[in-house]
Structure 1
Amino acid sequence: MSQILYNLPPLSPDYSGVASVFHDLGALTVIHDASGCTGTYTGYDEPRWFGSRSPVFCSGLRDMDAIMGDDDRLADNIITAAKETGAPCITVIGSPVPMVVGFDFRGFASLVEHRTGIPAFGFAATGLEYYDKGQRDAYIALADRFLPEQAKPDSRKVNILGASVLDGFDGPAMDALESLANEAGLQVNTVWGARSSLEELKSAGNAGFNWVVTAAALPLARWLEKRYGTSFAAGLPIGGGETGRIARFLRDAAAGKAPAAALPVPGRGGKPAAVIAGEALFAASLRVCMENEYGIGPAAIATFFGEGREFLGETDRFLVTEDDAREVFSGGTVETVIADPLMEDLLPETSGAAFIPVPHRAVSGRLHSESCSRYFGAGVRDILAVPVR
């Protein structure tokens, strides 16, 4: 009950995270639910679905199906859809009702794969976790299944890991990341989260460096480091300092001098003068820019999303309830709050803090969706210079 939200809409759940990773792979995606969860993903969380040919289906789960365990009907429907779509892989994703009745997703996926000959995945998503966990699990499942034991990393190639539409990585954002890599002398090998096909992802081991752009992809970077020995850097080009740091790592990688794993510089610590609420890696990169280039800080990170603990320090906080957010926002030293526009309702009326809206699709869906490229480079100046409240 502690996760009930009264002011905020439901935050993007784990099943949306899984489905978003498989979207551009052309996978046949089946969300096992009674229609509501599928509608949440296609209608609010997935901007690519409108006008897309990526096959996303709802299982149409009904009471008697759940009670009697009639899995054959679902398997038959999936097999028919697989034949009609020609999808290269199949993913069956959970929701709250299958969680309650104890549906075996891995076993069911094995059955579907046996009957179709098509690689199939089963994810026991519950709808009680958030999108970043679903994405993390999907990235690792794809790597475990499709990446070879050995590869020949090329120092002239880079993988971009975690480019999720739920975190604002649309076309302009992807173009900006690719341009930064190209300027450093690197060719983008694969993009995990968008654009790349399944066949392209299979070549991820051929890149000599990995660039992590969301916290959900950090476990994938460590997986690639363990298997192929490829190092990585995590961060977004927000402001001049972080853009320069990332560009330097990319240039070193292109020169065959890939650095050891590199994360954004920790915050100053101390009682926060600013709070950034959002995805952990975006917030960590923004904090570096705010503290070092604009003198706004110390800044603390507050997030509802569980991935990215490596980016957080002692003054940062994971949020469970809206009251947790109110408590953080109303801290006596807090002068600035940066968060999705819908979170302004959680700022106490007695607070004198300035509120700077930074939309996050995983929070406000289509209502305030925008490209994260707006904050790249010097673009962040306009946002930080115009507080609202």
Structure 2
Amino acid sequence: MRQIASRISIYSADPFGVCSALYELGGLTVMHDASGCNSTYNTHDEPRWYDMDSMVYISGISEMEAIMGDDDKFINDIIYTAKELSPNFIAMTGTPIPMMIGTDFKAIASIIEKETNIPTFGFDTTGMHSYVSGAYKAFEALAKRFVDEKADKKEGTEGKKRVNIIGATPLDFSVNKSVEAMKELLESDGFEVVSTWAMGSTLDDIKKSAAADVNLVVSYSGMGAAKYLYEKFGIPYVVGTPFGKKFAELVINELNEAIKTKENKIAYKNRKTAEDADITIVGESIMSESLACAISEEKNKTVKVISALETDEKLLLDVDKLAMDEEEITELLKDAKTIIADPLYKPICQIDSNFISLPHEGFSGRIYRDEIPNIINKNL
């Protein structure tokens, strides 16, 4: 029963992570589900829905189709729609029903691609993991399928260092100009942004990613793609979200150092920590670690992080914890003095703790969207 959430919300699911990562790239994304997943995604988790067109659909699988395993209808519907709309690619995502009946998305993707000659992905999402898992798979698949190894490093502005921002979706950064602020920060320090995965960039921009000198990974969703680009093209990456003035400066320094040494960097690795920390942050691993470092740098406070989402524990510091169940998080917050987290975590915090609200779109959806601050390169 440890995985049951009785007092707090749950994070956006992995199919939504795929949809969010691919939303702006001109693809046809289909959630294989009876109905409901699409409205939950576009109503609560997708702030771009009413302002930007995207081909996100639901398959509408019926009870009989689920029982009898009728994949032909699913395949034919996608082929028909793809021929009508001519998307840049096709992506299918799974939900609990296809998980239970054992739908083979990779085999279906192969059939559809052969029929349409359109690059097709079958993501084995289940609806039982968080958006981080789905976005991670989507970005990694983009890197493996679309990044052009012939991308010309000489195409950019002479004298400019070139960078990709990887791991940006509204589920982490909302639409409060945080991503634009990252670009402005990098450009003001002599960088040219090749692509932003995947807000504010096209699929053609992403195809040119191999022309970059370094990658900036701003959430765990981007780690798979960054690792692949390092292994395939030798592009080093820096892990860190440039929150706060001092930490933003540190991130820039690490990017410059990574270009020189060709070594990967974790920008927050030397921050102040303590078991009995002044502040505890709950949230996504890389963003929370980065905020913790920014607070340590600017406020001289010790900070501990609880990563409530999938991550590589090597990205966490010694005192930090990976805890994804309400019961475990409640126990870890028992003695916390000051807590920074989404307001929907407040029911499991001690009454006498100092709770600082930091809404997270991937956790509370649209409820506190207007209260999500842009703290990129700003004094905290």
Which TM-score bucket, shorter chain as reference? Answer: over 0.9
CA distance in 2, matches of 1:176, 1:129: 30
Q: In the alignment, what sits opposite 1:53?
A: 53
Structure 1 residue 371: Cα displacement: 7.8
Tell me the secondary structure at the aligned position of residue 44 of structure 1: helix
Cα root mean square deviation, aligned: 1.9
Runs (5+) with no aligned partner, structure 2: 155-159
CA distance in 2, matches of 1:242, 1:77: 49
Q: In the alignment, what sits opposite 1:260?
A: 263
CA distance in 2, matches of 1:169, 1:245: 24
Give TM-score scaled by structure 2 length.
0.93
Runs (5+) with no aligned partner, structure 1: 381-389
Q: In the alignment, what sits opposite 2:225?
A: 220
Specify which of 231, 234, 248 is matched with residue 253 of structure 2: 248
Q: In the alignment, what sits opposite 2:345?
A: 343
Distance 1:308 1:40, change over 3 A: farther
CA distance in 2, matches of 1:261, 1:369: 33
Tell me the secondary structure at the aligned position of residue 48 of structure 2: helix
Distance 1:192 1:359, change over 3 A: same
Moved more, 148-157 or 193-202: 148-157
Q: Tell me which amino acid in the other structure corresponds to 1:146.
A: F
Indicate whether 1:34 and 2:38 are aligned.
no
Structure 1 residue 372: Cα displacement: 6.1
List per-residue Cα deviations over 1:235-288 (Å, max 9, x = no partner). 1222232111122244567xx636621111244233223210011111111111
The equivalences for 1:118-267 within 5 A come to 118-149=118-149, 151-153=151-153, 156-170=161-175, 172-251=177-256, 257=260, 260-263=263-266, 264-266=268-270, 267=272
Contact in 2 for aligned 1:27/1:55 (Cα 8 Å): yes
Q: In the alignment, what sits opposite 1:361?
A: 361
Contact in 2 for aligned 1:269/1:314 (Cα 8 Å): no
CA distance in 2, matches of 1:158, 1:378: 21
Structure 1 residue 124: Cα displacement: 1.0
CA distance in 2, matches of 1:148, 1:198: 11
Percent of aligned pairs with the same residue?
Answer: 33
Distance 1:36 1:304, change over 3 A: same
Give the count of matched residue pairs. Answer: 373
Q: Tell me which amino acid in the other structure corresponds to 2:331.
A: E
Contact in 1 for aligned 2:269/2:317 (Cα 8 Å): no
Distance 1:238 1:372, change over 3 A: farther
Contact in 1 for aligned 2:246/2:294 (Cα 8 Å): yes
Tell me the secondary structure at the aligned position of residue 92 of structure 1: strand
Specify which of 299, 311, 325 is matched with residue 307 of structure 1: 311
Q: Tell me which amino acid in the other structure corresponds to 2:337.
A: E
Q: In the alignment, what sits opposite 2:321?
A: 317
Contact in 2 for aligned 1:168/1:370 (Cα 8 Å): no
List per-residue Cα deviations over 1:30-79 (Å, max 9, x = no partner). 00001122222111111112232211111001110011111111122112
Specify which of 298, 305, 329 is matched with residue 293 of structure 1: 298
CA distance in 2, matches of 1:370, 1:17: 21
Contact in 1 for aligned 2:181/2:377 (Cα 8 Å): no
Q: In the alignment, what sits opposite 1:387?
A: none
Distance 1:373 1:187, change over 3 A: farther
Structure 1 residue 153: Cα displacement: 4.1
Q: In the alignment, what sits opposite 2:157?
A: none
CA distance in 2, matches of 1:48, 1:217: 20
Contact in 2 for aligned 1:164/1:194 (Cα 8 Å): yes
